Each structure stands twice: as structure tokens, then as C-alpha cells.
Amino acid sequence: MRKTLFFSFVLFTLCYACQTTNHLADVQSNSVRLDTLMVSEDQAMLAKIEPYRTDLMDQMNVAIAPLDTDLRKASPNSTLGNWFADILHASGEEIFNTKVDFAIQNSGGLRIPGLKEGDITVGLIYELMPFDNKLHLVSLGSAELKLLFDKMVEKGGWPISYGLQMSVMDSVVTDIKIHGQAIEDDKLYQVIIPDYIANGGDNCDFLVPLERKKSNIFIRDALIDYLKAQTEQGKIQTADATKRYIEL
């Protein structure tokens, strides 16, 4: 018994001594920048990408709607802003299947200075709205509406849809009309807002706790679908230069 124990001990010691391990000896990092000077490209991979790229180009170049005049982006009022917000309003009503009071869009979300007269392509819509923003239908009471309008004034005015008219004097909101009516204190208003803003973006934290319906459709896709449907109905896109944000 004693002998066995002794041998076990010797064996254990020997094994332990001869057991090897992987010691971490050194670590060095040298990341590589993939720049234009590196001419070589994997030709087989390029060939694999090519049909996708061609197909993508073909799809981006698809004309979806004719536009009969130039649309330009500006603040607080602009033809591009009116056009965009109006589409949010109309397609939002279809998506949520309900009547809405108005729609807003933050200026920063529109990424091109305008659209030229002619065909609007899918690619142009991607350039206009590259973000994967989605639509929320948010219920706002009179107090929250006031916060929202103050924020919009602070930001120099955002694109707003038909149905809303703001009068502003010296950066103070003096009058609001929603479909021609003054704001009613105990009414909840249904407003189409991009999720970026509805989730508190651009310091709109006050919108976060509000009751809402969410859509999983990207604004970009909603725009494309709406324009396609309009074109099918023979409608031509045009400018609406109405001032909805009136500076007194």
C-alpha cells in the first residue's frame, strides 16, 4: 500500500515536471489599411460580386415617378420638405389604416439638397433617405404638441405636412392651426413621426413615453411604394410651395 502510494507520488511528480504548456510569449498588432494603393483584388470574388452589382445598379436606376419641376430643400419652408412630409402623411394613413392629423420630418434626415425635374429613381430615394428610419404614429396631447412645436422652432423649422400651420414671431409660436382648427386642450392628436425623433433623437426625449403605433416599414420603402402607386394612377409629382411655417 505504502509502495503504491510512493510510486503514485513519483509518477505524478515526473508527469508534472514533463508536462508542457503553451506559454504566451508575445503579442503584437499591425492592422492593415485596405487602400487604393493595394491594387490586387481577388478576381474570383470580383466576378462573384459582379452580377449582384449589375442587378443592383439596374434596380437603382429604375424610374418610379415623374417630377414636373425641381424640388429644393430649405428651412423652414421648402418644396422638398413639403413634398416629403406630405408623402409621410398620406402613406402613414395607409400604413396605419387611420386618419392622422399631420406628419413631421427632421431636416437632418433629408440628405440631398433637392430633386431635379424628370424621373425620380429608386437610387435617388436611397440618396434622399439613406437611413433605415421607420414611421411611428404617436399620440400627442396639447402639452406635448407645444413642446414639439417649440423644439421645431428651436431647430429652425422642420418639414411639416398639410394639415398643420404654425405662426412664429421672434422664435415664439404665436398660433397653431391643425386642419384649420385651434388646438383643443383635452384632445389627443395623431402625428406621423420618424422613429429616430419619436425615440428621443434631436433632444425630443419628451416623445419617448408617449403612446404610439410602430411600423416596420422603412420610410424609404414607404416612399417608393407610395410613388409607384401614384404613378400607376397616372399622377405626376409636383411642387407645393405653400408656407406652412409662417414667420410674422
Partner 1 sequence: MMKRRLFLESMAKGGMVLASGLPLGMFDKGEITKITILHTNDMHSRIDPFPMDGGRFQGLGGMAKRSALIKRLRNENEHVLLLDSGDIFQGTPYFNFYGGELEFSLMSDMKYDVATLGNHDFDAGLEGFTKQLKHANFDFVSSNYDCRDTLLEPHIAEYKIIEKAGIKFGIFGLGIELKGLVPEELTGGVKYLDPIATAQRTALTLKKEKACDYVICLSHLGFKYRENKVSDLDLASQTENIDLILGGHTHTFLREIVIKENLKGKPVCINQAGWAGILLGKIDIYFENNKKSQCKSCKNLRVN
Point out which residues bind partner 1 (CB under 8 A): 16-36, 38, 40-46, 48-49, 52-53, 55-56, 59-60, 126, 132, 134, 195, 199, 214, 216
User: Is the CB of 4 or the CB of 216 nearer to partner 1?
Assistant: 216
Q: How far is the CB of 9 from partner 1 (least distance, A)?
A: 18
Q: Could you tell me the smallest distance in angstroms from the CB atom of residue 89 to partner 1? A: 22
Phi and psi, residue 16, nearest 5° = -60, -45
- Of 1 and 44, nearer to partner 1 (C-beta) is 44
Q: Strand, helix or coil at 63?
A: strand
DSSP at 61: T
Those residues whose C-beta lies under 8 Å from the C-beta of residue 41, and which sit 6 or more positions away, are none
> Which residue carries 416612399 as its cell?
223
Smallest distance, Å, CB 20 to partner 1?
5
Min dist CB 161 to partner 1, Å, is 24
Residue whose CB is less far from partner 1, 4 or 43: 43
Cα 125 from Cα 107, distance rounded (Å): 15
- Cis peptide leading into residue 130 (ω within 30°): no
Closest listed residue to residue 189, CA positions, set 163, 168, 221, 208: 163
Return the number of the residue (35 or 185) whose C-beta is nearest partner 1: 35
